[in-house]
Structure 1
Amino acid sequence: MTTYIMLMNWTEHGAKNVRDSPKRLDAARKQLGEMGGSFKSFYLTMGEFDMVAVVEAPDDAVLARFALMLAAGGNIRSQTMKAFPELAYREIISSLG
């Protein structure tokens, strides 16, 4: 599985319906699970982003589809970063020579 960090902000529509946000999160967890992925953690945050999630997916294409499906709902906009775990980080750095 590949790990991704999703940085999310509510759209105007999503903010107006913020009370429904927990239900939307539950639906997103289920949707990603059906696609072979999972939420590892989720945070409500203060600052530039409203929410941050650490998720796993089988590959980039699966997560791209998931992010597009979230965007199509019209409640959030997201930025996604692929994350390398510490072991991969160490391997990448050691390969520099």
Structure 2
Amino acid sequence: MTTYIMLINWTEQGAKNVRESPKRLDAAKKQLADMGGSFKAFYLTMGECDMVAVVEAPDDAVLARFALMLATGGSVRTRTLKAFPEFAYREIITSLG
């Protein structure tokens, strides 16, 4: 499984319907699980992003489909970062020679 960090912001529509946000999160968790992935952590945040999620998915294509499905709901916009765990970070740096 690959780990991704999703930076999430409410759209105007999402902010207007913020009380429905927990239901939308539950639906997103189920949707990702149905695609073979999972939420590892979720945070309401202050600052540049409204929320941050740490998720896992089988591959980039699955996560891309998930992000597009979220976008079609119209309540959030996402930015996704592919995350490399520490062991991969060390392997990458070591491979530099």
- What TM-score does the superposition give when structure 1 sets the normalisation length? 1.00
Task: Quote the residue 2:26 is aligned against.
Answer: 26
The Cα of 1:22 is off from its aligned counterpart by 0.2
The Cα of 1:3 is off from its aligned counterpart by 0.2
RMSD after superposition: 0.2
Q: Is 1:94 aligned to residue 97 of structure 2?
A: no
The Cα of 1:93 is off from its aligned counterpart by 0.4
Structure 1 runs of 4+ with >2 Å offset: none
Look up the SS of the partner of 1:47 in the other structure. Answer: coil
Task: Quote the residue 1:4 is aligned against.
Answer: 4
Q: Which structure 1 residue ranges, 5 or more long, are not aligned? A: none
- What TM-score does the superposition give when structure 2 sets the normalisation length? 1.00
Look up the SS of the partner of 1:36 in the other structure. Answer: coil
Code of the aligned partner of 1:67: A
Task: Quote the residue 1:53 is aligned against.
Answer: 53
Look up the SS of the partner of 1:80 in the other structure. Answer: strand
Code of the aligned partner of 2:43: Y
Code of the aligned partner of 1:20: E
What is the aligned-residue identity percentage? 84
Code of the aligned partner of 1:29: K
